[in-house]
């Protein structure tokens, strides 16, 4: 099927596309492209298989050059100095306090540092200060903070910076920073100073002559804009959350937007168009319209001329790339508004999609839409993961997208052909006045779902007759249903209080924990949470107060997410059968689940709950998304933001727990690892327990 993507006819899930020619780049050339001369430990001898694999993915062994460790976003390192024998000897080497970089002391650090050429780089604070850190001591080496503007003050995602990007430019290391105000900065990696000759002068006090790109200038729908204030409220808003990705001299940028659940009350907003810049000069190279314009593929999926004023569909999660094939992979979110789309009838491409673009031209290679006409805030919340697998005896270059709805979509990353069939199945239809929900949704036939799929009475706890009755009472006024159970409006004729959305608006799988992969085995490890949301809609006028931050756009939406839908707890105890959080191992060579384990142990509040007295309770795990990484020796994870301050190691092939250590505070996002001066370190971002927004570095004593 050369030159084609496969898919259903008459719908927007598959598109024709062209193959991108592979670049025959050996390991040495890849090393030079990413790190100048190969590091000393690679120069002396031919690399082994693990080292070659790391270089092919864009990261020399021992480094962590991307948010996801490598361009494939595996969050894998071949390091194995920390192993089953010494894991419980880990101790805190140093702590770096991120709350020193902002006015709010209780913020959650969402940044995963990168490690390149002997230095750690991260961001912290609501202004998203960039910082370089000594990897052995935690000493701050330099910082960079963007000058003050109302643009960052008005950002709805100030404290959402997930990190930085890095590239070699003319033999010099360059760090790329995206800020809440929608600026792109290029900084000298050794000094933190803006890169000479990059970008154009910004006519705002405090900005220099070099190093900055005002990305609003390259968004069609953001014109005209004011460099100081940004765009008028009537147009909406746009910001950033994840770092860009740099591929073969091209900086590719996603974006983020105002959350839609109850806070986005207008139907207009800026679309999250994908932007690309020259890594050396900052020259704008191309733009991909996530909401297609007339004559572009997918334009017909926006009926009612909604393409003119609808927004969002941002690639807000981290991106991944196949550097050999010259393809970047983008996961996108829902369009405006997350839970009602009557004003935007149609499938709404390229929202809720995996999109493969040519790195140098921005042309679409292929795409797949994982949710049509989203009403559940089920965006693709994690980076697509690249793997080379063997399926039925044939090698397949794969890309894997795990989702909030608990599904795993797997494709040939070059052609877009699904590795296993994906079926369009009928789903329940919305009864909300004015809504036109999609009659079908895509379901992978393999792998099996890794999380709850809808809600029925069989999913409710039944440890005792009393608990069973309490659970049934809790859902007596809730509209139960399968996956893609649509939201209801408050005055629905059946008198339901809310509709059960399971997995919840926050997943299933989500960026907090996400998915990691072992590229040596083709096994992915999916962190997920068993939870449901109660979806009930109120008239938009009831929630639109005209205050800044909610009054973005011009026209009030007919319906918006309302309060009062929660139903899953009785006296502080979940009515859902455990585990509350889990990690699932899936072999992407076969599509089979290998094992799953609870995320940590049963919380004390559950184990000692009076309603559970005398009950032989299984391990429920923590009600949170585990934060994991995988190495040559172990799968390691923290219990996440609502979990205990613990860090665990398990056997990658069996899930058997090997060891547990205490952390100063619960993990808050994805950890990372690196080798510095012959010692392996693990850095865990933490928050809580008196340690807001901190990095904790661990090493064997």
Confidence band, pLDDT 50/70/90 cuts, at residue 7: very low
DSSP structure string for 594-641: EEEEESS---HHHHT-GGGTT--------SS--EEEEESS-EEEE--T
> 690 Cβ partners below 8 Å, 6+ apart?
665
Task: State yes or no: pLDDT of 36 exceeds 80.
Answer: no
> 505 Cβ partners below 8 Å, 6+ apart?
261, 338, 376, 377, 378, 404, 533, 535
Give the domains, in start order, of the chain with CATH numbers.
Answer: 27-700 (2.140.10.10)
Per-chain mean pLDDT for the chain:
91
Q: What is the pLDDT of residues 183-198, one digit of tens each?
A: 999 999 999 999 999 9
In the prediction, which pLDDT does 243 show?
98
Q: What is the pLDDT of residues 480-514, one digit of tens each?
A: 999 999 999 999 999 999 999 999 999 899 999 89
Q: What is the pLDDT of residues 522-553, one digit of tens each?
A: 999 999 999 999 999 999 998 888 776 567 89
Determine how many CB atoms are found less than 10 A away from the CB of residue 203: 10
Rounded-to-integer distance, Cα 227 and Cα 209, Å: 14
Contact 384, 75 (CB under 8 A): no
In the prediction, which pLDDT does 623 show?
96
pTM for the predicted model, two decimal places: 0.93
In the prediction, which pLDDT does 46 show?
55
Rounded-to-integer distance, Cα 352 and Cα 356, Å: 13
**What angle is formed at CA 139 by the lines to CA 135 and CA 142, rounded to 5 degrees?**
100
Lowest mean pLDDT among 45-59, 590-604, 609-623: 45-59
In the prediction, which pLDDT does 550 show?
62
Confidence band, pLDDT 50/70/90 cuts, at residue 10: very low
Q: What is the pLDDT of residues 623-670, one digit of tens each?
A: 999 999 999 999 999 999 999 999 999 999 999 999 999 999 999 999
Task: State yes or no: pLDDT of 28 exceeds 80.
Answer: no
Task: State yes or no: pLDDT of 571 exceeds 70.
Answer: yes
Lowest mean pLDDT among 50-59, 231-240, 241-250: 50-59
Please give the residue that has the higher pLDDT: either 32 or 203: 203
């Amino acid at each position: 099927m050369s030159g084609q993507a496969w898919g259903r006819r008459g719908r927007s899930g598959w598109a024709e596309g062209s193959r991108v020619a592979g670049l025959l780049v050996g390991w040495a050339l890849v090393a030079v492209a990413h790190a100048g001369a190969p590091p000393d430990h690679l120069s002396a001898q031919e690399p082994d298989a693990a080292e070659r694999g790391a270089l092919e993915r864009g990261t020399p062994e021992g480094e962590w050059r991307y948010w996801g460790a490598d361009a494939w976003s595996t969050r894998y390192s071949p390091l194995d100095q920390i192993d089953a024998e010494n894991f419980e000897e880990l101790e805190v080497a140093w702590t770096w306090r991120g709350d020193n970089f902002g006015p709010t002391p209780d913020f959650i650090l969402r940044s995963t540092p990168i490690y390149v050429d002997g230095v750690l780089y991260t961001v912290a604070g609501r202004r998203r200060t960039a910082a370089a850190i000594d990897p052995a001591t935690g000493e701050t080496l330099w910082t960079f903070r963007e000058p003050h503007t109302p643009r960052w003050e008005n950002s709805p995602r100030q404290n959402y910076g997930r990190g930085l990007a890095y590239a070699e430019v003319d033999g010099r290391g360059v760090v790329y920073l995206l800020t809440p105000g929608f600026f792109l900065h290029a900084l000298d990696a050794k000094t933190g100073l803006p890169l000479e000759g990059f970008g154009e002068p910004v006519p705002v006090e405090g900005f220099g002559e070099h190093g900055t790109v005002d990305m609003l200038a390259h968004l069609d729908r953001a014109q005209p804009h004011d460099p100081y204030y940004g765009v008028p409220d009537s147009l909406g808003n746009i910001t950033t959350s994840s770092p860009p990705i740099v591929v073969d001299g091209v900086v590719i940028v996603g974006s983020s937007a105002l959350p839609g659940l109850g806070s986005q009350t207008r139907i207009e907003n800026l679309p999250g168009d994908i932007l690309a810049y020259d890594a050396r000069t900052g020259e704008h190279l191309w733009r991909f319209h996530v909401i297609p314009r007339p004559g572009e593929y997918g334009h017909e999926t926006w009926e009612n001329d909604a393409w003119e004023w609808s927004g969002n569909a941002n690639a807000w999660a981290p991106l991944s790339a196949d550097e050999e094939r010259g393809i970047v992979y983008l996961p996108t979110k829902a369009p405006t508004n997350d839970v009602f789309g009557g004003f935007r009838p149609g499938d709404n491409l390229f929202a809720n999609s995996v999109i493969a673009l040519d790195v140098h031209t921005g042309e679409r290679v292929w795409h797949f839409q994982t949710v049509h006409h989203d009403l559940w805030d089920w965006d693709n919340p994690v980076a697509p993961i690249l793997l080379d697998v063997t399926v039925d005896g044939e090698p397949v270059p794969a890309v894997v997208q795990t989702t909030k709805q608990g599904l795993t979509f797997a494709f040939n990353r070059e052609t877009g052909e699904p590795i296993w069939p994906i079926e369009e199945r009928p789903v329940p239809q919305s009864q909300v006045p004015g809504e036109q929900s999609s009659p079908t949704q895509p379901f992978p036939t393999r792998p099996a779902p890794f999380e709850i799929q809808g809600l029925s009475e069989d999913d409710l706890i039944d440890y005792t007759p009393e608990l069973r009755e309490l659970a049934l009472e809790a859902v007596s006024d809730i509209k139960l249903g399968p996956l893609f159970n649509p939201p209801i409006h408050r005055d629905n004729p059946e008198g339901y209080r809310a509709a059960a959305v399971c997995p919840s608006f926050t997943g299933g799988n989500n960026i907090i924990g996400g998915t990691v992969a072992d590229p040596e085995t083709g096994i992915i490890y999916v962190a997920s949470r068993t939870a449901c949301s109660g979806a009930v809609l109120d008239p938009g006028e009831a929630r639109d107060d005209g205050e800044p931050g909610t009054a973005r756009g011009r026209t009030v939406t007919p319906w918006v997410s309302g309060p009062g839908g929660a139903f899953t707890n009785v006296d502080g105890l979940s009515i859902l059968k455990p585990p509350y959080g889990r990690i699932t191992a899936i072999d992407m060579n076969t599509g089979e689940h290998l094992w799953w384990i609870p995320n940590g142990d049963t919380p004390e509040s559950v184990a000692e709950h009076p309603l559970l007295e005398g009950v032989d309770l299984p391990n429920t795990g923590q009600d949170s998304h585990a934060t994991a990484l995988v190495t040559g020796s172990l799968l390691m994870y923290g219990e996440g933001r609502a979990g205990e301050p613990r860090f665990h190691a398990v056997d990658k092939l069996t899930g058997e727990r090997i060891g547990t250590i205490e952390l100063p505070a619960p993990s808050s996002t994805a950890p990372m690892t690196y080798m510095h001066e012959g010692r392996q370190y693990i850095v865990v971002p933490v928050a809580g327990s008196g340690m807001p927004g901190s990095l904790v570095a661990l090493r064997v004593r």
